[in-house]
Homo-oligomer: A and B are copies of this chain.
Amino acid sequence: MLTSDGRLGVAIVGCGAVGSEVARTLRERQHTLQNRSGVRLELRAVVSRTFRTARAMGLEEELLFDRLEDALAERQIDCVVELIGGLDQAHAAIHEALSAGKHVVTANKALLATHGSELIAHARRNGVTIAFEASCAAGIPILRALYDGLAANEIEALYGIVNGTCNYILTKMVDHGERYIDALSAAQAERYAEADPTLDVDGTDSAHKIAIMATLAFGAHVDYRQLHVEGINRLSLDDVTYATRLGYIVKLLAVARRYNGGLAVFVRPAFISREHPLAWVSGPFNAVSIYGDATGHTMYYGRGAGGTPTASAVVADLVSIARGAYQPVFRAPCFWPQPESETSAAETTGANTTARNPQLIAVEELETRFYLRMSVDDTPGALARIADVLGKHDISIASVFQAEAPDERAPEPVHVVVTLHSTTEGRLRAAVKRIEALKSVRSPVSIIPIIDEHPERSFAGA
């Protein structure tokens, strides 16, 4: 139990869609949460710029503070919930809370991916914790799977669909043949995409999340700024359509896997088989497949965004802190190890929390299968020249598909669609550069990896 009197005083900083749901849950479910945790979770302060939502909810005026500093001074707070979002203000609030010896719960993936190591070192120095289940998949308890449920495993790989906006858009493109730009508008109309969707559709949001998950999964600090990240914002409907025709589906995958003694971590649109469990995940839903050496494949599915699912994870973290169950997890040496460059800071915490930075494998070195789509002038020998370039780069063709020109009298370029056997992306890019230089081929060539389901070790029967 955290506090001697069986109570946990909570301050919420930021009272928008998530903050107001957290406040509501703490108020309306106090008895249940106490039965579950053995601790009374008490909302003692709400810090916000405007109190529109807080007042609409009927929160007492005495709970409302303009500044965290005042709340910490005037109320007995054990845990600060940061739900401001963004970097600077959120960073300042968390730093202030940790410095004051308060536990922190946050949903802020951008902040954790950017400043996580520094904040976690600061928490350790101050003998408190930062919990962040809500940061990667909202209500899906995916971080708990990594740090608790699968604690006996060496994690071999994570494959995630972790951005609901992108998955919603892709589902529209796949199921309804909508172009990217129309699907994005539909997503905005249904509030699955923000007015400025850049960080979602360009893959940055997924990169934040996979960096956090990979850091926990592999006990090695992964910096999202070092990752290969592509979004869906340049994806052509043609490629989505050919995927279906070939038995695949296009998903924006966030991948982190062990590879040749290092880690391959990236975000990009990929073809996956329609039989792959992640192919089932449609609309705004998210899912993460985890391959552990003992469990084999496990998958976690649900709504990865939204006010109430995110609040669910925030309150679960509060319950865990209230129980005293999260503190030993956070204190464990390999929970979010410090990057080597920050070893000196980490050493002052007294714990062996540093880890060799993982060797990140560049995507150019990864062996995988690929899909290519080329716009080719329908002239004799065009396909032969393409095949020749691929062959000279030691790249083996698995299938070829060329549509008939729509009108023979007014020849337009035709699509040549090729799937390839495994090769490295570096070799493929060299070949594609040569192909794009061919007179009969229009630039650019579409290149999309085909990602097979991760192999499991063999399992005997039940």
Contact = CB atoms under 8 A, between A and B. Distances in A.
Given A300-B300, A301-B301, A462-B194, A295 B312 contact: yes
Contacts of A301: 277, 297-301
A302 B297 contact: yes
Contacts of A295: 138-140, 302-303, 308-309, 312
Contacts of A140: 149, 295, 298
Contact of A1 (B29, B313, B328, B333): B328
Q: How many of chain A's residues touch chain B, expressed as a range?
A: 35 or more
A192 interface: yes
B141 A149 contact: yes
Number of identical monomers bound together in the oligomeric complex: 2
Interface in A286-312: 292-303, 305-309, 311-312
Interface stretch (A42-50, A319-327, A376-384, A441-449): A319-327
A312 B150 contact: yes
Contacts of A305: 461-462
A239 interface: no
Given A292-B312, A311-B152, A462 B324 contact: no
Nearest to A141: B149
A341 interface: no
B149 A36 contact: no
Contact of A296 (B145, B192, B302): B302
Interface in A404-462: 457, 459-462
Interface string A316-338: 10011001111011011111000
A219 interface: yes
Contact of A462 (B35, B193, B294, B460): B193
Given A164-B462, A298-B140, A151 B315 contact: yes
A312 to B, nearest CB: 4
A177 to B, nearest CB: 19
A171 B62 CA distance: 60
B323 A329 contact: yes
B461 A312 contact: no
B302 A192 contact: no
A11 interface: no
Contacts of A299: 299-302
Contact of A25 (B200, B294, B306, B314): B294
Nearest to A324: B328
Nearest to A197: B462
A3 interface: no
Contacts of A198: none
Given A148-B148, A152-B311, A308-B459, 20 more contacts: A29-B154, A35-B219, A36-B335, A139-B292, A140-B149, A140-B295, A144-B144, A144-B149, A148-B320, A148-B325, A149-B313, A149-B316, A151-B315, A151-B320, A152-B315, A187-B461, A284-B459, A299-B302, A300-B301, A309-B459
Interface of A: 1, 17, 21, 25, 29, 32-33, 35-38, 133, 138-141, 144-145, 147-154, 164-165, 187, 190-194, 200, 219, 277, 280, 284, 292-303, 305-309, 311-316, 319-320, 323-326, 328-329, 331-335, 457, 459-462
The 6 A-B pairs at the shortest CB distance, nearest first, are namely: A141-B149, A191-B461, A139-B295, A152-B315, A298-B302, A305-B462
7 contacts: A17-B460, A33-B151, A150-B316, A151-B315, A152-B315, A192-B462, A294-B315
